[in-house]
Copies of this chain bind each other. A is one copy, B any other.
Amino acid sequence: MKAVILAAGLGKRMGMQEPKPLLRVFGLPIVEHTLLRLKGFEVAVVYSDERVAQFLRERYPDVNLIYNPSPDRENGFSLSCAGRFVKRGESFLLLMADHIYSPEFFEKLETSEVTKVFVSKFCHKPYEATKVRVEGGKVISIGKGIEEFSYFDTGFFTCTYDVIDVAESLALKRERFTVSDVMQVLSEAGKLSFEEVNGFWVDVDTPEDLKFAEEKIRESLIKPTDGPVSKLLNRKFSTRISPFLIRFDFLTPNAVSLVIATLGVFASILFLLGKGALGGILTQFVSILDGCDGEIAKVKSIKSRFGALLDSLLDRYVDGLIVCAISLSLGGGLLVYTATFLALSGVILVSYASHLGGFRPYFITRDVRMLIFMLGGLLSAISGSALHLTLWFVGILSHAGVLYVLLMSGLEHLNE
């Protein structure tokens, strides 16, 4: 399928040097967020600022560039320029280069016999948004000045060639016209349908919008399966570190996983050397960074089965190494080794059970374990038995976690 991205807007309200599509949200240019989700699409970008073209030539050489010499004729004219790219009879996706769309927009996209505007019940600045009025499954009116409306226009469309026809004919009649004007013509002909989307979307016009979009992306990275420490603490940091890491191409999610695991190995070495406090602090730092690989993968839309496996295995190895390192630092003894056996098998088994059973014991997810290791490490500066107790504590809680998963699965089984 083809996709047309309109990037010729003047962006007067940003008060910045750079063209809007190149402003960074969560470390990446706005337009790149969209391009990353359009894998498999044949993409054209309509631009007027040479810097946009320059960026695309360097980073996305496959993207077709369509120059719009008259950006002041507004985005309707930009759309008419896409007639050079879309062929008669073809359908295409139409997007705005200064919008951030949530991943939900790109799920289950399919060619449609009719032009569809993607609409939402939500908009962060309703006063200046384009509104959509619908009746009997069709859009009957679209524009900014509509009083009674059902939805907001998200600036995301699946189009038939009709859209190009209308844009080209309007270009002959009017000096300035917008995409909404084109859609309004279609809606009057009964040719505009709509689709409701639940994900967020942000039309970036001001620096405040930029911040809002970044906040929305951050929110979307908190997984429902995140443990309590992750939710309340780690994600607040990791979602601020990831935008920095994501700028570097060589820091792929898998590379980040490996770096984090290496830091985890250092943490275990610190424990082994008897530097419990330092080891503990580094462990908590590793726990924070642990979110970054997944966040980068999600924002870049490059999550993979292999990446998930690598991440999980590295996590388990680091968990195990920390347990063994603490154990060896305690100098042996049957009691210590028993605690070690318990903790070592526990930290791996609780993840194993959780993966297999589909239930998460939130009292002993990895973020909680790592916090306990940090607390144990810090307390070891005061009490010599803190780390020994930590092993018992983690061990017992982990196996309780396994039991929890088994019980939950058993209850589910009984209710079936």
The chain A residues found within 8 Å of chain B, CB to CB, are 304-310, 312-313, 316-317, 320, 324, 327-328, 332, 334, 337, 340-341, 344-345, 348-349, 351-353, 355-358, 402, 405-406, 409-410, 412-413, 416
- A305 in contact with B413 (CB, 8 Å): yes
Q: How far is the CB of A4 from chain B (nearest CB, A)?
A: 28
- A316 in contact with B413 (CB, 8 Å): no
- A306 in contact with B410 (CB, 8 Å): yes
Q: How many copies does the complex hold?
A: 2
Q: Could you say which residues of chain B place their CB within 8 Å of the CB of A409?
A: 305-306, 309-310
Q: Could you say which residues of chain B place their CB within 8 Å of the CB of A351?
A: 352
Q: Could you say which residues of chain B place their CB within 8 Å of the CB of A344?
A: 341, 344-345
Q: How far is the CB of A293 from chain B (nearest CB, A)?
A: 15
User: Given contacts A304-B413, A348-B349, could you give 7 more A-B pairs where the C-beta distance is less than 8 Å?
Assistant: A305-B412, A306-B413, A309-B405, A310-B406, A327-B337, A340-B341, A352-B352
- B349 in contact with A309 (CB, 8 Å): no
Q: Could you say which residues of chain B place their CB within 8 Å of the CB of A334?
A: 328, 332
**A-B CB contact pairs (8 Å), 16 listed:** A305-B409, A306-B413, A307-B413, A308-B356, A309-B357, A309-B409, A312-B356, A313-B406, A316-B352, A317-B349, A324-B341, A332-B334, A341-B344, A345-B348, A348-B348, A355-B356
Contact residues of A: prevailing secondary structure? helix
Q: Complex Cα distance A355/B358, Å?
A: 13
Using A351-B352, A352-B316 as known contacts, say yes or no to A406 and B309 having CB atoms under 8 A apart. Answer: yes
Which of A307, A332, A357 lies at the interface centre, i.e. has the most chain B CB atoms within 10 A of its CB? Answer: A357
Q: How far is the CB of A339 from chain B (nearest CB, A)?
A: 12
- B332 in contact with A345 (CB, 8 Å): no
Q: Could you say which residues of chain B place their CB within 8 Å of the CB of A345?
A: 316, 320, 344-345, 348
Q: Could you say which residues of chain B place their CB within 8 Å of the CB of A402?
A: 313
